[in-house]
Amino acid sequence: MTADSSPDAYSVDHFFSAPSARLDRWRDVHAAARAWVNREVERHAVEAALDEVGVIEEYYAFPGPELMAALREQLQDEDPTGFLSLSKRISLAIITGNYKHDPKEWETADDIFAKPADLLPPAIGAQPQTRPYFELLLVTPAPAPRWPHIIAEFRRLRRPEDAFVYEVVPVASLEDAICAIVLNPDIAAVALYEGFALKSRYDAPVLRRVIAAQKAALEKAGEADLALLLADRLKAIRPELDIYLLSDRRVERLAGDPRATIFRRVMYQIEEPLELHLSILEGIEARYETPFFDNLKHYAQRPISTFHALPIARGKSVFRSPWIRDMGQFYGINLFLAESSATTGGLDSLLEPTGNIKRAQEMAARAFGADRVFFVTNGTSTSNKMVLQALVAPGDIVILDRNCHKSHHYGLVLCGAQPLYVEAFPMPEFSMYGAVPLRTIKKALLDLKAEDRLDRVKMVDLTNCTFDGHIYNVRRVMEECLAIKPDLIFLWDEAWFGFARWSPFLRPRTAMGAAADIEAWMRSADALAKYERHRAEIGESPSRETLLDTHLVPDPRAIRLRVYQTNSTHKSMSAIRQGSMVLVKDVDFPTVEAQFHEAIFTHASTSPNQQIIASLDVARRQMELEGYGLVMNAMEVALDIRREVNAHPLIAKYFRIVGADGMIPEEYRTSGFIDFLAPGTRWDDQLRSMREDEFCLDPTRMTLVCGTAGFDGTSFKGLLASEYNIQVNKTSRNSVLLQSNINNTRSDVAQLISILLRICNSIETRLMQGGEGERQAFAARVHSLMKDVPDLPDFSRFHEAFRYDAGATTPEGDIRGAFFAAYAPEDCEYVRLDSPECDKRLREGPEMVSANFVIPYPPGFPIMVPGQVITQAAINFMRQLDVKEIHGYEKAKGLKLLRPDAIMSKNDARATSSARRRSQAA
């Protein structure tokens, strides 16, 4: 096969963007064919281009062996026009996906052209009347010349009553199979016919690249059972796939092998092919099924009179009203038919599910790799509060990132656990924080241990990934923490990261992915030996420095693996706003189950929205059936944006998307990874970074620096929204955050780029026409935005009055006590930021103690929490802050403080009452 000699063949974007790489190859074929028509090149140039695409096409059902053969025939027949038109027809069909429902596309005669109107993808909202389409990967020892017959045989099995249609992709070897499922997102099921080969008959670079990533795992090939090995690899890459094994061995015995549970079914090879066909469809159906949504649709069709309180149900009050009819017209009748406050009629109860919600949650657990899933209809804000309340009690210590979402801080206020804030590494040039270094977390645990108070700490609570895209080395964090305290509970707030499960690159860095890996490690034969070697290395009583500096290994016999993940399904998947999930993988869940239900009862609405529940059910279905392709696409879009912005001669003059090197300090990137598209960076560098580095960057979250174009984040966000209909989310002083998700397309990229270009052009014009004065003003503005960036204030400390049962060296505090102390107005006072009083108090005391949370947006985390001593750094930051939205602060009144005398008397009272308790006890 041809060598792939282009220098960027190994670049990260090529690896992530299999679909567009494929289309690029077809474009090369067209270009060559056109040149051939014009007699500018010889046939062999076209042949070479076709060879390039040919290897890739082996892994897709369409165009398939027959159309490819037809193309080659036209080559042989020296028919340039015929070749050009057929190759164009094929690639158009690939782009539109039309072949998925139009049998004409598969025909080889070139007089068949689909009408142009048919080629348009269905409009949003239009309902294509076609059955969903997928592809079956067939790994077979049958010789390639037989493949067209095999394909035809499977087509003959189709029945009108089948709910789905599929085409077959035959491959001959383990290597090809891995390649196919990596490259082809339409593959939803795999049938392994025993006797297939290990090595591919090709040596194409695209194949070698994919296989190299599997190198470690494949080294065992030869000794292992090839089918089991392949199944294991396929599941590691795409756990949602159904795998069938067709064997000519004693299938009864094989089916009894515990390892065979990896197969959805083991069958005897010469059994009825119809049996396999039906099993495959049933496997897809098991993912397609959405128990709650299916029932809700059914419910909406039934004639039901309601005498409960929900006037809007059935929509009569809406559609009959001359005044609010437009609401009905806007939303459509089904919204109202599907509204109900009933938990009967098969609708089930979210608070105590026993029917289809329970099943929907179980299916979500399967899909997300959790033991249990709880649907939440009030956002991850509520999910976090539920988990905190369920697992920690007043007085317990929770180690958490001070920059985490406010739901965690408020959750601790509610449940009375004490936060031990740990600080993320700062990114002063953008006035934002990264993520919390593992060393900082270990230090907090070791400090507690040194004071013999390790039993007080119940949980480590971190955000993965952060708003700006920092991804933890989740497995390593958990392992090292468990080495210090083996029953520690982890709450990973993956509000933004739910989609990551469907990327084999990101999955190991999700809570559930890492938990699964740890679990597998604990069960592995060499876990104990590894632990014992580690113990021997660090010695009997290792010093604190040794513990901080060593990669700690937990005792596999002692670990209680207790992992919780919350995700805003609505933020990264197709769920309606506020749709959220709690994922649980906790070996001790039975001991907290009752508490967990109490927490649900505390926080969940008793009127959960049916539509949100249904959308959670549907979002799961989508991810299980097409999540892999959608996430790959989101990554591709992100890499496109990164490349286009940073490489464009004019745009790059004013804007830039920060690379991994700008987002993550070098010390946390020991792999040496610089950025996805940095010159010379190969996709395997990225893999290594994802595997090894303490932090890596989610490619779909892009920090776009706009300060260099003279915009602060907030006004740039405003400009994009008001002038260009582009919405972005978060801002910092000099940047905005762009995100790609499963909804984005390549035209979105084009749109964004053209708008940035327009903005750059207008800056250029302004600078040119405005003369020296304008240029100086611009430079000054840029300088101010990029250089005069306020230092972010780290968490100072809790006032001693709220640290009555805290450790001597550890910084936790009673946030709830401080929060409620502010409920007595006479105990509070206000000090204006700009007042001399403020400076005087900073200089001479008494210390100013915050009465509440103060949360500016941006950056969106609390600059002050209740009970916190306010320091010069916090005041400086507040004074420099030029944002409008600051929760918990009214400029006219000033900072709300707890009065010093009130704090003292509280302290005295507490001292007296504990003295009394002690004397009574004595």
Ligand X SMILES: *Cc1c(COP(=O)(O)O)cnc(C)c1O
- By CB under 6 A, residue 151 contacts ligand X: no
Taking the complex as a whole, the smallest distance from the CB of residue 468 to ligand X amounts, in Å, to 11
Which CB, 10 or 564, lies closer to ligand X? 564
Q: Is 166 helix (H, G, I), strand (E, B) or coil?
A: strand
Q: How far is the CB of 667 from ligand X (least distance, A)?
A: 24
Candidates 17-25, 52-60, 340-348, 378-386 — which segment interacts with ligand X by CB under 6 A? 378-386
Among the candidate windows 23-31, 90-98, 492-500, 656-664, which touches ligand X by CB under 6 A? 492-500
Our finding on whether 407 is near ligand X (CB under 6 A) is yes
Pairing of strands 372-376, 580-586: antiparallel
Judged by CB, which is closer to ligand X: 568, or 850? 568
Q: Could you tell me if residue 51 is left (phi over 0), alpha (psi between -120 and 50 degrees) or otherwise beta?
A: alpha
Tell me how far, at minimum, the Cβ of 228 lies from ligand X, in Å: 39
**Closest approach of ligand X to the CB of residue 472, in Å:** 13
Query: How many CA atoms are closer than 13 Å to the CA of 620, on its beta-carbon side?
Result: 34
**Is residue 35 classed exposed, middle or buried when 0-12, 13-18 and 19+ CB atoms within 10 A define those classes?**
middle
Query: Which is it for the CA torsion 826, 878, 409, 909, positive or negative?
Result: negative
CB of 467 to ligand X, least distance (A): 6
| Nearer to ligand X (CB atom), residue 430 or residue 802 | 430
Shortest reach from residue 425's CB to ligand X, in Å: 17
Shortest Å distance, C-beta 378 to ligand X: 7
The residue (of 277 and 571) whose beta carbon lies closer to ligand X is 571
Residue 564 interacts with ligand X (CB under 6 A): yes or no? no
d(CA 468, CA 736): 10
Minimum separation from the CB atom of position 343 to ligand X (A): 24
Report the nearest approach of ligand X to the CB of residue 567 (Å): 9
Q: What is the DSSP string of 593-642?
A: HHHHHHHHHHHS-SS--HHHHHHHHHHHHHHHHHHHHHHHHHHHHHHHHH
Q: Of the ranges 47-55, 236-244, 489-497, 717-725, which one interacts with ligand X (CB under 6 A)?
A: 489-497
- Are 178 and 217 within 8 A, CB to CB? no
Shortest spacing between CB 909 and ligand X, in angstroms:
36
837 Cβ contact partners less than 8 Å away, ≥ 6 residues apart: 831
385 sits near ligand X (criterion: CB under 6 A): no
Instruction: Give the one residue of 106, 374, 490, 496 binding ligand X; rule: CB under 6 A.
Output: 496
Of residues 749 through 788, those in contact with ligand X by CB under 6 A are: none
Quote the least distance from Cβ 563 to ligand X, whole Å.
17
Tell me whether residue 381 or residue 611 sits nearer to ligand X (CB atom): 381
Q: Taking CB under 6 A as the rule, does residue 381 contact ligand X?
A: yes
The nearest distance, CB 745 to ligand X, in angstroms, is 24
Please identify, among the stretches 77-85, 204-212, 377-385, 731-739, the one whose residues bind ligand X according to the rule CB under 6 A. Answer: 377-385
Decide whether 463 or 735 has the Cβ nearer to ligand X. Answer: 463
The stretch among 373-381, 675-683, 718-726, 776-784 that binds ligand X (CB under 6 A) is 373-381
Q: Among residues 582 and 760, whose Cβ is nearest to ligand X?
A: 582
By beta-carbon proximity to ligand X, the closer residue of 463 and 473 is 463
Contact 104, 62 (CB under 8 A): no
Nearer to ligand X, 379 or 556 (CB): 379
Number of residues that bind ligand X (CB under 6 A): 12
Residue 608 CB, shortest distance to ligand X, in Å, is 14
Candidates 380, 473, 510, 732; binder of ligand X (CB under 6 A) is 380
Nearest residue to ligand X by CB is: 379
Which tokens hold the place of 519? Answer: 């679990």
| Segment near ligand X (CB under 6 A); pick from 153-161, 420-428, 488-496, 849-857 | 488-496
d(CA 563, CA 586): 6
CB 727, min distance to ligand X, A: 15
User: Which of 403, 277, 333, 352 lies closest to 594 in space, CA to CA?
Assistant: 352
The whole-angstrom distance between residue 223's C-alpha and the CA centroid of its chain comes to 36
Nearest in space to 169 (alpha carbons), one of 60, 284, 283, 280: 60
Q: What is the DSSP letter of 861?
A: S
Residue 580 lies near ligand X (rule: CB under 6 A): yes
Residue 725 contacts residue 717 (beta carbons within 8 Å): no
Q: Does 495 bind ligand X (CB under 6 A)?
A: yes
Cα–Cα distance for residue pair 759/658, rounded to 1 Å = 19
Query: What totals of helices (H) and strands (E) does the chain contain, helices first?
Result: 37, 24
Examine residue 568 and tell whether it contacts ligand X (CB under 6 A).
yes
Residues 184-213 within binding reach of ligand X (CB under 6 A): none
Residue in the structure block whose two tokens are 């159906």: 285
Cα separations (Å) of 13 from 4, 284, 631, 641, 679?
16, 31, 14, 11, 12
For residues 411 and 710, which CB has a smaller minimum distance to ligand X in the complex?
411
The window from 217-225, 230-238, 491-499, 593-601 that contacts ligand X (CB under 6 A) reads 491-499
Q: What are the structure tokens assigned to 664, written together? A: 């993550």
Q: Which residues, including other chains, have CB under 8 Å from residue 889's CB and lie 6 or more apart?
A: 854, 856, 878, 895, 896
Of 227 and 462, nearer to ligand X (C-beta) is: 462
CB of 665 to ligand X, least distance (A): 21
Which of 63, 379, 411, 508 binds ligand X (CB under 6 A)? It is 379
583 binds ligand X (CB under 6 A): no
Number of Cβ within a 10 Å radius of residue 382: 23
- Between CA 132 and CA 432 the distance in angstroms is 45
Q: Which stretch binds ligand X (CB under 6 A): 35-43, 122-130, 430-438, 490-498?
A: 490-498
Check the CA dihedral 29-30-33-38 and report its sign. negative
Six token digits for residue 572: 């990264």
Which of 14, 470 has the CB closer to ligand X?
470
Measured CA to CA, the distance from residue 40 to residue 34 in angstroms comes to: 9
- List the one residue from 13, 57, 339, 493 that touches ligand X (CB under 6 A): 493
The residue among 290 and 377 lying less far from ligand X, judged by its C-beta, is 377
Q: Which stretch binds ligand X (CB under 6 A): 80-88, 108-116, 374-382, 602-610?
A: 374-382
Q: Does 573 interact with ligand X (rule: CB under 6 A)?
A: no
And the tokens for 432?
């934002």
Across 587-618, b (16+ Cβ under 10 Å) vs e yields: eeeeebeeebeebbeebbeeebbbbbbbbbbb
Query: Is residue 405 part of the contact set for ligand X (CB under 6 A)?
Result: yes
Q: How far apart are alpha carbons 617 and 297 in whole angstroms?
A: 13
Considering only residues 463, 610, 700, 744, which one is a binding residue for ligand X as defined by CB under 6 A?
463
Q: Which of residues 498-557 bind ligand X (CB under 6 A)?
A: none
SS3 865: coil
User: Minimum distance from CB of 577 to ligand X (Å)?
Assistant: 8
Lookup result for tokens 């907030």: 714
Tell me which DSSP letter residue 782 carries. Answer: H
What is the contact surface with ligand X in residues (CB under 6 A)? 379-381, 405, 407, 463, 467, 493, 495-496, 568, 580
